[in-house]
Amino acid sequence: MEYQYLIKAVDHAPFIIIILGLMIAWHGYYARWLLISYGILETLDHLIHLEIRSWLTHFYIMNSLIIIVFMFPILLRRPIALFIFRKTGREYFAIVGNRQGLSKYEVIILWLMASTAVVNFITWIEVICYKYWIIDYVYIKFHFRDYYMVSVHLVTLAAMYSYSFYTFISKSQIKKVHR
């Protein structure tokens, strides 16, 4: 199939979304935190992707672990930001670290990432079972996983872009109220 080009385009789309999102929502501390930290993790993911892809059997469990690491900037925002604030003294990190709740966009992104981690874990179990002749065919790996990952990746990018617009619009609404 020619869907490999689509998968490659989707793999590189986060960088475009991150740059556009940062241009739109630079004034929003929390959106900026999410986009910059996601950009750092996405860069690291691209650097190690070829090596991990060569792990035929354990690629899927490693992918699950990487997705869990992608959840850290949201789940551990407070301790990470306050740690950086103590080391650098930058007020930005104190503002980000003092936020208590999650936005609906962050919750959606967490759910999407958690679902991809679960699908990767199930695919890893399926591949292990196939490797040791417990099952005869890896249905999830061949017919479900790749399509699901691309779909969820696109929805996650849409959620991040929507979060950027939400930050931009909400900041504009605040300015109108104070005028």
pLDDT digits (tens, 9 = 90+) for 26-74: 999 999 999 999 999 999 999 998 899 898 889 999 999 999 999 999 9
Distance from chain centroid for Cα 123: 19
Contact 10, 16 (CB under 8 A): no
Q: The tokens of 78 are what?
A: 């407070």
Decide if 176 is inside a domain: no
Number of domains in the chain: 1
- Letter string b/e over residues 1-32, b meaning 16 or more CB atoms within 10 A of that residue's CB: eeeeeeeeebbeebeebbeebbebbeebbbbb
| Within a domain: 177 | no
pTM of the model: 0.88
Q: Which residues contact 157 (CB under 8 A, 6 or more apart)?
A: 13, 14, 17
When the pLDDT of each residue in the chain is averaged and rounded to a whole number, the result is 91
Q: What is the pLDDT of residues 62-106, one digit of tens each?
A: 999 999 999 999 999 999 999 999 999 999 999 999 998 899 999
- Torsions phi, psi of 151, nearest 5? -60, -45
Q: Evaluate whether residue 44 is within a structural domain.
A: yes
| The pLDDT of residue 178 | 46
Q: Which domain holds residue 35?
A: 4-171
